[in-house]
Amino acid sequence: MSDEKTRQQKNQAERAERREALARGYEELTPKGGVAVKAWTLGVPFEVAAQRQLENVARLPFIHSHVAAMPDVHFGRGATVGSVIPTAGAIVPAAVGVDIGCGMVAQRTSLDASQLPDTLAPLRAEIERSVPHGGKGGRGRDPGGWEELPKPVARAWRDLERRYAKIVDAHPRVEHRSPAQQLGTLGGGNHFIEVCLDEEARVWVMLHSGSRGPGNRIGTTFIELAKRDMRRQNVRLPDADLAYLEEGAEFFDDYVFAVDWAQDYARVNRDLMLARTLMAMRRILPSFQADPTRAINCHHNYVVRETHFGAEVFVTRKGAVRAREGDLGIIPGSMGAKSFIVRGLGNPDSFDSCSHGAGRAMSRTQARKQFTREDHERATADVECRKDEGVIDETPGAYKSIDAVMEAQRSLVDIVHTLRQVVCVKG
């Protein structure tokens, strides 16, 4: 057979495979010695390093059925951000991550765009005064935390404190110096509070945060304990950060208890910040009221027991949102890019999941090298937000196209509302 004919046959096979992928909505990787990886990445960048990470995960002996990759997938610690990992009898702590329970909350208000002030800087400033954020602080108090706990925060902490004390008693290294002071606070990085307008010019509040320092300490501690367990058992892994805890192992139950607590802390954290943000808006906008519809609150870094393909398993969503049929979820873009309220379609191949955002197109270091302050100002010209060098790593160009991401997951979710931000608070 001639080289030309061989090349033609190869091209025909690749085109046929592409048509099949388009029909089912995902591409499929078949790593040697592992389960399949089903990737909703058609039309979006899919870095080779992320593919290798997914293949490493797919080779773990306790993966159930297959691994799913969302269209915002990108390289992470151990496991890729934007992956769904079903496991039977074991959990990989680094796949859950250190921002345990990180996620989103969104609430529609009674306002429309015509009721917003012409100048939005005072509204942003009032939200920033109302919700501690970033690493600011002084006089020895916790950076980005409360100096004195508001009553709702103190009440919420009392409900969380007893379980936290149990975790710290068993694992003293988990203890954080100010878990109560960080409850109801934003943090920094890609966490944000936004005021948005939907397709009918109605005003929404949307925010993104997780379990702050306490969750980080839990994640970091148990990642190290899992690695220690692997060394003790002489288990060799392609990546040390894929260290796992098996059911029945010394620290497994402690980890499940601790991660459940951190996920509760994260959800309460978002609820408290949402309430504070709505109060701040009410002070600036006297006619303001929250819409009576329930807020949408969803994790996107977490582990939970679910049933898939006939078995109860642990499902780790590392940068992914649960999207069972009818579930409402939130998929944010980036600063200056639109976001989406979505309804899940319950796609079983994705383990009832969808993306958690646009996904980074480059590292923070790359973004700081590639973009200037002027670039960032142009990209966020229509948003009342920080324009300084400190947020250049969060500029829209550092992220994938949210439109391409949404197109790639048409088989996972329907779009209910399209939001564009007019105010963005960053830590």
**What does the alpha-carbon distance between residue 325 and residue 316 come to, in Å, rounded to a whole number?**
19
Is 394 a member of any domain?
no
The tokens 């939001």 sit on which residue?
419
Domain membership flag for residue 377: no
Query: What is the residue-wise DSSP string for 44-61?
Result: S---HHHHHHHHHHHTST
Looking at every residue in the chain, the average pLDDT score rounds to: 92
Report, as an integer, the average pLDDT of 58-70. Answer: 98
Distance CA 98, CA 422 (A): 30
pLDDT exceeds cutoff 90 at 22: no
Q: Would you say residue 135 has pLDDT above 80?
A: no
Does residue 204 fall inside a structural domain? yes
> Which residue(s) pair with 426 in the sheet?
192
CATH number at residue 291: 3.90.1860.10
Backbone angles phi and psi of 380, in degrees to 5:
-120, 30
CA 275 to CA 25: how far, in whole Å?
39
Q: How far is CA 49 from CA 66, 293, 358, in A?
A: 19, 42, 18
Backbone phi, then psi, for 176, in 5-degree steps?
-105, 145
For the chain, what's the residue count? 427
Q: What percent of the chain has pLDDT over 70?
A: 92
Q: What angle do CA 335, 340, 341 make, to 5 degrees?
A: 135
Q: Catalogue the active-site residues.
A: 356
Residue range 249-289, pLDDT digits in tens: 999 999 999 999 999 999 999 999 999 999 999 999 877 77
Q: pLDDT tier at 138 (50, 70, 90 boundaries)?
A: very low
pLDDT score, position 24: 78
Most confidently modeled range among 15-24, 322-331, 391-400: 322-331
Is residue 381 a part of any domain in this protein?
no
Range of the domain at 291: 29-361+399-426
At residue 13, does pLDDT exceed 60? Answer: no
Is the residue at 409 inside a domain?
Answer: yes
Q: In whole angstroms, give the CA distance from residue 164 to residue 213.
A: 13
Predicted confidence at residue 143, as pLDDT, reads: 63
Q: How many domains, the chain?
A: 1
